[in-house]
Amino acid sequence: MDRNFDVIIIGAGPAGLFCAIHAASAGTRILVLEKNKEPGAKLLLTGTGQCNLTHEGDIREFVSHYGDHGKFVKPSLMSYPNRTLQDFFCECGLALVTEGNGKVFPATRKSADVLLVLLAECEKHGVAIRCSEPVTGIARDGDAFTVTTPYGTYRAGSVVITTGGASYPQCGTTGDGFRLAESLGQPVTEIAPALAPLLIRPFPFASLAGISFESMHFTIWRGGKKVADHTGDVLFTHLGLSGPGILDASRKIQAGDVVRLSFVGTMRREEFATDITRRAEENPGWQIGTILAKYPIPERLNRKLLSLSGIPDDLTCAHFSIEKRSALITNCTELPLVVTALGEFKIAMATRGGVALDGVNAKTMESKIVPGLFFAGEVLDIDGDTGGYNLQAAFSTGHLAAQGVRKRLGIPRLERA
């Protein structure tokens, strides 16, 4: 068995497979090592198995969807933007569809079809993929690397780590890449779940699990100070809060933070206070619940907000005291919920933290510390919003790492496979 390669890629996820495809050239020996029995385990679960590949729109607008690390990921996004990614899959025979919200999916709505394209392209370009072969060690050996698995040692001039993060450990993403990077002296930041739901104890709306709110306004508070302002879709679960808006905001949330929810659309506290006071004064015989029903609040939530505000179901506007009115206004416009914890890695969609970005060249994905060592995908300290941004980053960084590898091999840059 040949154990000498030009490039070894550790991890057969989207970043690794895409890197292999674009690094391939006539005579180039590329090996992809994968710990799972089959490649693309987490990719198959992406978008509940439908695979939200990317997002529509101007690629320059993507940068704002990666939090504080948008500047780092920008070169890779510009090198291989969303339109180019869509062209790649279409040219490989996979039709795509774009939803009204901008999310791009395979027309078949099957993640497996995306994986089949990647594997077919790897086969066409002569990429060797060996599954059930976890990497147990990696070392610098002169101007090359030795990569060890339970089945022996391989040697390559370049190594690309694309093992993913630590979320969805049931897919094999258990932080292996972080340990391998650290063993070579590559700095790794503290990791935590990202794109994670919020656990609230006790959660007053557990009985309302399944109710969702479009474009809800909410704020995040820490130590009595507001630290963030968000608008996005929010979902009540049995344990707390989820939905795209909450998942996107979770990178800024810590246990102990207070999330304040508004249930009255674009109205702010002062505007709502003036409006509900006027309605109550004009209709003294009405019950408070009848007044509250005039706002975009589901009926079951209406009753719960009254209860939380200490207002009996049969209380009329004529007896709507200042104290009860103030409590209801607060609960409708900035209801406080203390975050007990973020969802664990097993339910988080991504990982916050990873290989430190200041140790990686953003224009090549090559380590600034270890020549010939590259990174791509979620193993890096990059986490994007929901909506296809994380997969786009995986493909784009994988492509850019491939260009770095090709340069080291003296092979001309390849824009597309």
Between CA 129 and CA 115 the distance in angstroms is 13
> What integer pLDDT is reported at residue 414 of this predicted model?
67
DSSP per-residue letters across 1-35: ---EEEEEEE--SHHHHHHHHHH--TT--EEEE-S
Mean pLDDT of the chain: 94
The pLDDT of residue 310 is above 90: yes
The pLDDT of residue 47 is above 90: no
- Locate the domains of the chain by residue range: 4-192+346-409, 197-343
pTM of the model: 0.86
Residues facing residue 137 across a β-bridge: 148
Both tokens of 215, joined, read 């474009």
Query: Cα torsion at 35, 37, 42, 44 (round to 10°)?
Result: 160
With beta carbons less than 8 A apart as the criterion, state whether 334 and 261 touch: yes
Provide the CA 67 distance to its chain's centre, in angstroms.
11
Q: How many Cβ atoms sit within 10 Å of the Cβ of residue 364?
A: 18
Provide the CA 61 distance to its chain's centre, in angstroms.
17
Between CA 67 and CA 247 the distance in angstroms is 13
Tens-digit pLDDT profile for residues 317-337: 999 999 999 999 999 999 999
Q: Give SS3 for 351.
A: strand
2 band by pLDDT with thresholds 50, 70 and 90:
confident
With beta carbons less than 8 A apart as the criterion, state whether 404 and 23 touch: no
> What integer pLDDT is reported at residue 273 of this predicted model?
96
**Nearest one of 402, 361, 289, 307 to 20, comparing CA atoms:** 402
> What integer pLDDT is reported at residue 171 of this predicted model?
72
The pLDDT of residue 115 is above 60: yes
Q: Give SS3 for 334.
A: coil
Tens-digit pLDDT profile for residues 211-258: 999 999 999 999 999 999 999 999 999 999 999 999 999 988 999 999
The pLDDT of residue 149 is above 60: yes
Strand intervals (E) in 122-275? 128-130, 137-141, 144-149, 152-161, 192-194, 198-200, 212-222, 225-236, 240-242, 258-261
Both tokens of 411, joined, read 């092979």
Q: Is the dihedral of CA 366, 368, 373, 379 positive or negative?
A: negative
* Least confident span in 173-177, 261-265, 316-320: 173-177
> What integer pLDDT is reported at residue 415 of this predicted model?
54
Angular region, 54: left φ>0, alpha ψ -120 to 50, beta rest: beta
From the CA atom positions of the chain, what is the Rg in Å? 25
Between CA 196 and CA 193 the distance in angstroms is 6
Tell me what the mean pLDDT of segment 377-386 comes to: 94
What topology does CATH give the domain 4-192+346-409?
FAD/NAD(P)-binding domain (3.50.50)
Q: List the end-to-end C-alpha distance of the chain, in Å, as a whole number.
A: 27
Tell me what the mean pLDDT of segment 60-88 comes to: 96
